[in-house]
């Protein structure tokens, strides 16, 4: 009995000694907990101010990528009009006449549509292009419309005489513009399969521009400006092609007449809706 009382007495003294410390720790823990709750409550009712997202550099924008190469081509062409520039259009004509005085060919005419023929053959051989037939056709029509308005409008405004004196519709070269437009479309549609499709198409387009100069039909400046306009027409057509045609709608409404009672039937394709919601690229077309 004495041992039990003695043990109880030691434990009482020990607990009494450490109880203030435990109490202090409990108070400190309570204070921290209250401060955390207060901070969370304050944060909850504060206006959320998210950190401003870093703005992408301008040279990574779609507009910059679509216009930089055409702008360089057009800029160089304009800088060589007549006797301007380090290597002017007059210099180019003089060298051509000295090295190829009697050059004549008509191959530049059929080469205009060679990239389109290449694209058609690729599809016939089951080489899948970036877009289906319908959407590719719409892009081509828009690009051709931009090209036609721009090229033939500028021919009337610039009133530039051809090197052979045939007429005053030299600037810009319609042949070069058409060839580079077709090459740009082919490159966009098939470059995901192989870059050599684009290399071949742009080689053909460059040949068209060279032949126009060798045939004494165009100045150097006409060809470069035309090439830039052709590529720009293609890029603008793709940038403006925001909605994809030919897709099945997620929601379909149709009239019904069942047992003599007219009404409407609604059909919702949830799988297709979720797929489009999770894949915004299916709703919009972007220039890669």
Has residue 68 been placed in a domain? Answer: yes
Q: Indicate if 259 and 173 belong to the same structural domain.
A: no
What mean pLDDT is reported for the chain?
78
Q: Is the pLDDT of residue 122 over 60?
A: yes
Q: Indicate if 134 and 268 belong to the same structural domain.
A: no
Digit-coded pLDDT (tens) for 132-180: 888 999 999 999 999 999 999 999 999 999 999 999 999 999 999 999 9
Q: Indicate if 224 and 133 belong to the same structural domain.
A: yes
What's the confidence (pLDDT) of residue 61?
82
**CATH code: domain of residue 123:** 1.20.144
Has residue 19 been placed in a domain? Answer: no
Q: Indicate if 77 and 171 belong to the same structural domain.
A: yes
Q: Indicate if 269 and 231 belong to the same structural domain.
A: no
Q: Is the pLDDT of residue 100 over 50?
A: yes
- Written as six digits, the tokens of 161 are 């005489």
What's the confidence (pLDDT) of residue 111?
94
Q: How many domains does the chain have?
A: 2
What's the confidence (pLDDT) of residue 63?
83
245/90: higher pLDDT: 90
Q: Is the pLDDT of residue 218 over 80?
A: yes
* Domain assignment of residue 189, given as a range: 59-239
Q: Indicate if 154 and 216 belong to the same structural domain.
A: yes
| pTM recorded for the entire structure | 0.68
Q: Is the pLDDT of residue 124 over 60?
A: yes
Digit-coded pLDDT (tens) for 12-61: 444 444 444 444 444 455 454 555 544 444 444 444 444 555 677 767 78
Q: Mean pLDDT lowest for which of 126-135, 183-192, 220-229, 252-261?
A: 252-261
What's the confidence (pLDDT) of residue 123?
87
Q: How confident is the model at residue 76 (pLDDT cuts 50, 70, 90)?
A: very high
Q: What is the pLDDT averaged over residues 194-210?
A: 95
Q: Indicate if 87 and 169 belong to the same structural domain.
A: yes
Q: Indicate if 129 and 150 belong to the same structural domain.
A: yes
Q: Indicate if 262 and 234 belong to the same structural domain.
A: no
Q: Indicate if 137 and 271 belong to the same structural domain.
A: no
Q: Is the pLDDT of residue 243 over 90?
A: no
Has residue 12 been placed in a domain? Answer: no
Has residue 26 been placed in a domain? Answer: no
**134 vs 107: CA distance, rounded Å:** 30
What's the confidence (pLDDT) of residue 5?
43
Q: Indicate if 189 and 262 belong to the same structural domain.
A: no
Q: Is the pLDDT of residue 75 over 80?
A: yes
Has residue 20 been placed in a domain? Answer: no
Has residue 101 been placed in a domain? Answer: yes
Has residue 21 been placed in a domain? Answer: no
Q: Indicate if 80 and 107 belong to the same structural domain.
A: yes
What's the confidence (pLDDT) of residue 103?
93
Has residue 170 been placed in a domain? Answer: yes
**86 vs 97: CA distance, rounded Å:** 19
Q: Mean pLDDT lowest for which of 28-32, 184-188, 191-195, 224-228?
A: 28-32
What percentage of the chain has pLDDT greater than the value 70?
64
Q: Mean pLDDT lowest for which of 6-10, 28-32, 208-212?
A: 6-10
């Amino acid at each position: 009995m004495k041992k039990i009382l003695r043990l109880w007495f030691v434990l009482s003294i020990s607990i009494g000694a450490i109880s203030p410390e435990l109490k202090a720790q409990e108070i400190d823990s309570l204070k921290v907990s209250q401060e955390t709750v207060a901070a969370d409550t304050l944060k909850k009712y504060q206006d959320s101010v998210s950190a401003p997202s870093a703005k992408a550099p301008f040279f990574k924008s779609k507009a910059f990528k679509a216009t930089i190469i055409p702008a360089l081509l057009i800029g160089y062409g304009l800088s060589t009009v007549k006797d301007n520039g380090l290597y002017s259009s007059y210099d180019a004509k003089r060298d051509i006449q000295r090295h190829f005085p009697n050059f004549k060919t008509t191959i530049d005419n059929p080469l205009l549509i060679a990239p389109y023929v290449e694209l058609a053959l690729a599809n016939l051989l089951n080489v899948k292009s970036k877009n289906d037939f319908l959407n590719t056709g719409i892009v081509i029509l828009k690009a051709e419309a931009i090209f036609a308005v721009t090229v033939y409008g500028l021919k009337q405004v610039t009133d530039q005489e051809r090197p052979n004196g045939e007429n005053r519709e030299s600037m810009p070269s319609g042949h070069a513009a058409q060839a580079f437009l077709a090459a740009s479309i082919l490159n966009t549609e098939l470059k995901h399969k192989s870059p050599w499709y684009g290399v071949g198409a742009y080689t053909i387009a460059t040949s068209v521009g060279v032949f126009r100069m060798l045939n004494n039909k165009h100045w150097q400046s006409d060809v470069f400006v035309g090439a830039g306009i052709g590529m720009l027409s293609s890029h603008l057509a793709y940038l403006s092609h925001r909605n994809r045609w030919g897709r099945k709608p997620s929601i379909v409404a149709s009239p019904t007449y069942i047992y003599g009672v007219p009404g409407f039937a609604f059909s919702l394709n949830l799988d297709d809706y979720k797929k489009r919601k999770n894949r915004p690229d299916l709703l919009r077309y972007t220039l890669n």
